[in-house]
Structure 1
Amino acid sequence: MTELPAFYDDLAGCLAEAWRRLEEGAAHQSGFHAPALATIGRDGAPRLRTVVLRGVDRAARTLRIHCDARSDKAAEIAADPRVSLHAYDAAAKLQVRIEGRARLHGMDAAARAAWGASRPMSRVCYGTIPGPGTPLAEGGAYALPEDEAAVEAGFPEFRVVVLTAARLDFLYLARQGHRRALFTWDGEAETATWLAP
């Protein structure tokens, strides 16, 4: 029989494990590196896409991703900051769902710091012409920046998205019995409860 993890019957342990996995995901060390982010479309319908987790601040309950100012994602967050994030690591048998509010940062200190910490290959995307989602006559009918100056010229299109968690749903799958827990924050006050899986 598989040994159960220390967090199995420990609410605080479940929350700590969720944040640990998210931190590892931001460091490219777990299956949480590429979660799915849901926004609310301009027509009120949900919109879902895979994103790259770039940073996690457990104490502030924030997660950081990046996007292009010209993208639907940026426009949707600007119009309605309510978002959800879903991460699943099949090897760990763990799912984390987070709901909260997102804030866009562009052309500010947060954006400059994130831009400076980004790999050159990641910065190239923001200098691509035309912007994301633009219809093309054929698949390759877009231009990538050709030199470092052109890559830097993409910085005005770079956005940092900071999601502040208001609700975190944790699910661990185990043959002996799954464990599901819900954590919510009203301001700084935290509530935690077990849920039926």
Structure 2
Amino acid sequence: MTEPAFYDDLAACLAEAWRRLEEGAAHRSGFHAPALATIGSDGAPRLRTVVLRGIDRDGRSLRMHCDARSDKAAEIAADPRVALHAYDAAAKIQVRIEGRARLHGQDAVARAAWAASRPMSRVCYGTAPGPGTPLPAGDAYALPEDEAAVEAGFPEFRVVVLTAARLDFLYLARRGHRRALFTWDGEEPSATWLAP
């Protein structure tokens, strides 16, 4: 079996990681719904699935959305250090990213992301009560009933922009796994192979 072009090429491993992330943001591919870890108010890690909404390879950033009323938003506001994990079982590729997240709300970044969002995605931000609120029954929440109510949810909409400081790439192969680490102190990455 022939291994992919990135198998023994560090720069190609990094390019493949970003390509997979871009594909995940654009389509429902293996990297569409990675896990994002934050640091909770008690200092413990908190983990949840998010949806990739955009990738800026040159800026080393990934875009996701969240509700301002969520624990995720509060945790990022308190401590912007986050980690993201994506795994595509079919491709046998794992990417782990560590970096800092920034929240955007009611600014140009948030307005552009809101405008590009599908109507069914906007509904979430008009839901009452907010995410994580205890309920007496599973259906004891209300969805916005019309377009005006959906639009009224915009103040709760947040864009999370994660800027990568560290990217760990792992490819699982029968012939031998390949793992590479990329870190950024400036614009150019430092790259090295790691034992898988």
Q: So what's the TM-score if we normalise by structure 1?
A: 0.99
Residues 152-186 of structure 1, C-alpha deviations (whole Å, 9 max, x = no match): 00000000000000000000000000000000000
Q: Does 1:186 align with 2:181?
A: no
Cα deviation, residue 136, structure 1 = 0.2
Query: Kindly, what percent of the aligned residue pairs are identical?
Result: 88
Cα deviation, residue 66, structure 1 = 0.1
2:31 partner SS: helix
Equivalent AA in structure 1 for residue 35 of structure 2: A
Question: How do 1:1-197 and structure 2 match up within 5 A?
Answer: 2-197=1-196
2:110 partner SS: helix
CA distance in 2, matches of 1:41, 1:186: 26
Q: So what's the TM-score if we normalise by structure 2?
A: 0.99
Cα deviation, residue 104, structure 1 = 0.1
Cα deviation, residue 28, structure 1 = 1.4
Equivalent AA in structure 2 for residue 102 of structure 1: A
Equivalent AA in structure 1 for residue 16 of structure 2: E
Cα deviation, residue 77, structure 1 = 0.0
Does the C-alpha gap of structure 1 residues 29 and 5 become closer, same or farther in structure 2, counting only changes over 3 Å? farther
Cα deviation, residue 3, structure 1 = 1.5
Query: Which runs of 5 or more structure 1 residues have no equivalent in the other structure?
Result: none
Q: Over aligned residue pairs, what C-alpha RMSD do you find? A: 0.5
Cα deviation, residue 189, structure 1 = 3.3
1:78 partner SS: helix
CA distance in 1, matches of 2:79, 2:187: 22
- Structure 1 runs of 4+ aligned residues shifted over 3 Å read none
Cα deviation, residue 30, structure 1 = 1.9
Residues 100-153 of structure 1, C-alpha deviations (whole Å, 9 max, x = no match): 000000000000000000000000000000000000000000000000000000
